[in-house]
Amino acid sequence: MTISRACAPAEVTLRKVKQFPKLLSVTRGGNVSMFCMFPIFEETPDVYWRRRGEESFLEPDSRKRINTNKGTSSFKILNASLADAGVYFCEVKHRRRSIENGGGTQLTVYVSPLPLKLIQVEGISADSLKLVCKTAACYPEPIGITWRRDGVENLTSIQTVKKTADGLYEVSSSLEEAHPVRSGVVYTCLVSHVSLPVPASVNYTINPGETGNICRSETSVPT
């Protein structure tokens, strides 16, 4: 007589939740999304999102959106603020199985240094010129400022950084020409920051026929 033996099915191992991207950045006021993928077994799992350091799971509200479909989930933040920065995790709970976490998404929120201001300092002698280029309060450091005369020269300047009460940085750079400046010369202040795809610039032009006086400024903003 042949005896058949029923074999118990092998335990299915839960694959690790895949979360992406690992690193994510957004400029303050922008929208940003992160995602996770997970396996589906005999039942639809419960999916949660949380931020590192917080005990409670995140709940949808006027600025936060959670969308979960079969095998995928997304978490979207609208009108991002500095307070939204942190590490976010997707957590998946299948029945009779332990919770599995995604690898985490590190969200960094930038604050743009725009708009720029370029002013002439009064009280300097008639044979010299002093300009000061200022950024708006921005985040994070560093902020790079360079100067050019007629678009070709890198001029020596003095840069100062001030930290505001809310943790932002205001940067100014001063340029002084200790000799007469001919009419028609264009001075350009170039500002580089991680929030800008290309450097922003602001120009000052010496008024033809009025050497030493500023007549016009133009700002170029990256798009």
Is residue 11 in some structural domain? no
Burial 133-143 (b: 16+ CB within 10 A, else e): bbbbbbbbeeb
Is residue 1 in some structural domain? no
Q: How confident is the model at residue 85 (pLDDT cuts 50, 70, 90)?
A: very high
171 & 199 share domain:
yes
Query: Above 80 in pLDDT, residue 57?
Result: yes
Is residue 157 in some structural domain? yes
121 & 210 share domain:
yes
146 & 213 share domain:
yes
Residue 33 is part of which domain span?
18-110
Mean pLDDT of all residues in 84-108: 90
174 & 135 share domain:
yes
Is residue 76 in some structural domain? yes
Residue 69 class from Cβ within 10 Å (0-12 exposed, 13-18 middle, 19+ buried)?
Answer: exposed
The predicted pLDDT at position 41 comes to 72
132 & 64 share domain:
no
Is residue 177 in some structural domain? yes
CA atoms of 186 and 183, how far apart (whole Å): 9
74 & 146 share domain:
no
157 & 105 share domain:
no
69 & 152 share domain:
no
Are 204 and 160 in contact by the 8 Å Cβ rule? The answer is no
Mean pLDDT of all residues in 166-184: 90
The rounded Cα 82 to chain-centroid distance in angstroms is: 9
Domain count, the chain: 2
From 146, 148, 124, select the one nearest 135 (Cα to Cα): 146
Tokens coding 98:
């332990």
Q: Tell me which amino acid residue 70 is.
A: K
Is residue 190 in some structural domain? yes
Least confident range of 63-67, 117-121, 180-184, 206-210 = 206-210
Q: How confident is the model at residue 31 (pLDDT cuts 50, 70, 90)?
A: very high
The predicted pLDDT at position 99 comes to 78
Domain boundary among 110, 125, 142: 110
Mean pLDDT of all residues in 147-176: 93
Residue 85, helix vs strand vs coil: coil
Share of the chain above pLDDT 70, in %: 83
E strand segments, 54-195: 64-69, 72-77, 86-93, 100-101, 105-110, 117-120, 129-134, 144-149, 158-163, 169-177, 186-192
Is residue 148 in some structural domain? yes
The predicted pLDDT at position 39 comes to 83
Query: DSSP per residue over 17-62, as a string?
Result: PEEE-SEEEEETT--EEEEEE----SSPPEEEEEETT-SSPP---S
Tens digit of pLDDT for each residue in 110-160? 999 999 999 988 765 667 889 999 999 999 999 999 999 999 888 899 999
Query: Above 80 in pLDDT, residue 211?
Result: no
Domain with residue 181: its CATH number is 2.60.40.10
